[in-house]
Structure 1
Amino acid sequence: MAKEIERKFLVSGDGWRSEAETGSVFQQAYIVTMDDRSVRVRIADGKSARMTLKVGKSAVVRDEFEYEIPLSDALAMIDLAVGIVIEKTRYRVPFHGFVWEVDVYDGALQGLVIAEVEMRSEDDRPDLPDWIGREVSGERRFSNQYLALDGRPPD
């Protein structure tokens, strides 16, 4: 079992693009959603798939179990999605010893851009790039689970 320790922010501007690595296109569907847990399926670049179980109520730390699954199974599960299927392109952006993941949403969530930084410890204090906007860690309405269920929140 892994621990997911991350902070999440809205993105302000395109300053991150010049430092970004090549993006990966994701389709992401939630199969089970509850207040303190979720099961999701994610297809990356139409080639590989993973199923992830996340458990926890903390705004920053959750237990995470992730497994590779057959692409055909993921495609079948996406048809069982609760809410919308999230479409996004994820870019990795290295900055001062941390890797930021910038998600540019498409489809029903088009126009939304969110950055996450995964940390090794809750005590980590990553430097914030100048393209980082308001922190939304702990604002459930900006979690992918709630975006799938409720759509894009007002900024």
Structure 2
Amino acid sequence: MGREIERRFLVCDSRFLDGRTGERIVQGYVAKESGAMTTRVRIRADRAFLALTGPRQGLGRDEFEYPIPVDDAWQILSDYCGGRIVEKTRYNVAYADHLFEEDVFAGRNAGLVIAEVELAHEAQPLILPTWIGEEVTLNKRFGNFSLAQFEGPTLPEDRRRPKGPVPTRHLQAMH
């Protein structure tokens, strides 16, 4: 079992990302039980993962994450996540002995930039860069599951499955 302890912040100035290379992420939520676990599938570039996360307890929560085939992940996103999809590009930025992950959201959440930093323990001191804004760690509105609830397209255009029977060649082109 893993334990994830993280803090999340709005990014007030993302110009520092100009010229950096990020990694595209598409993730969807299969299920979320109130006060229990959330089931998420995530595709990061050419890798895919299934994750089960427990409810937040302070800054931390239990997290179990397992690699799965990318084709399986696309099928889960398409068939089982409904509209609960988040698209973003992640940039890793080292600052003052910490690694900040900047998520620049696309699709229905375009314009939103959130920085996350994982900590070894909840009381770990943290020096914040000048581009960090309001802390939103405990604000559920800025959690990925909440962001996935907004109305709008469910999958990136190049990954949507057509209605009705799907020819095999089309499924291969999607992935």
**AA aligned opposite 2:28:** A
Structure 1 residue 22: Cα displacement: 2.6
Query: Percent identity, aligned pairs only?
Result: 40
Q: Which residue of 2 aligns with 1:29?
A: 28
Q: For 1:74-93, list aligned pairs within 5 A.
A: 74-79=73-78, 80-93=80-93
Structure 1 segments unaligned to the other structure (5+ residues):
none
Task: Give the TM-score normalised by structure 1.
Answer: 0.90
- Cα deviation code 1:127-153 (max 9, x no counterpart): 0000000000110110001111246xx
Structure 1 residue 21: Cα displacement: 5.4
**Greater gyration radius:** 2
Contact 1:58 1:138 in 2 (8 A): no
**AA aligned opposite 1:132:** I
Q: Which residue of 2 aligns with 1:98?
A: 98
Contact 2:25 2:42 in 1 (8 A): yes
**AA aligned opposite 2:86:** I
Contact 1:2 1:63 in 2 (8 A): yes
Contact 2:108 2:150 in 1 (8 A): no
Q: For 1:72-151, list aligned pairs within 5 A.
A: 72-79=71-78, 80-150=80-150
Structure 1 residue 15: Cα displacement: 4.6
Q: Would you tell me which structure has more strand in proportion to its own residues? A: 1
- Cα deviation code 1:78-106 (max 9, x no counterpart): 01114332110000000000000000000
For 2:82 and 2:90, locate their aligned partners in 1 and report how far apart those are by CA, in whole Å: 22
For 1:57 and 1:81, locate their aligned partners in 2 and report how far apart those are by CA, in whole Å: 22
For 2:61 and 2:30, locate their aligned partners in 1 and report how far apart those are by CA, in whole Å: 18
**AA aligned opposite 2:144:** N
Structure 2 segments unaligned to the other structure (5+ residues):
152-175
Say which SS state the counterpart of residue 73 (structure 1) adopts: helix
Cα RMSD of the aligned pairs, angstroms, is: 1.6
For 1:59 and 1:137, locate their aligned partners in 2 and report how far apart those are by CA, in whole Å: 9
Q: Which runs of 4+ in 1 moved over 3 A?
A: none
For 1:15 and 1:107, locate their aligned partners in 2 and report how far apart those are by CA, in whole Å: 20
For 2:144 and 2:137, locate their aligned partners in 1 and report how far apart those are by CA, in whole Å: 12
- Cα deviation code 1:108-145 (max 9, x no counterpart): 11001000010011111210000000000110110001
Structure ranking higher on relative contact order (CA contacts 8 Å, 6+ apart): 1
For 1:101 and 1:118, locate their aligned partners in 2 and report how far apart those are by CA, in whole Å: 9
Contact 2:43 2:73 in 1 (8 A): yes
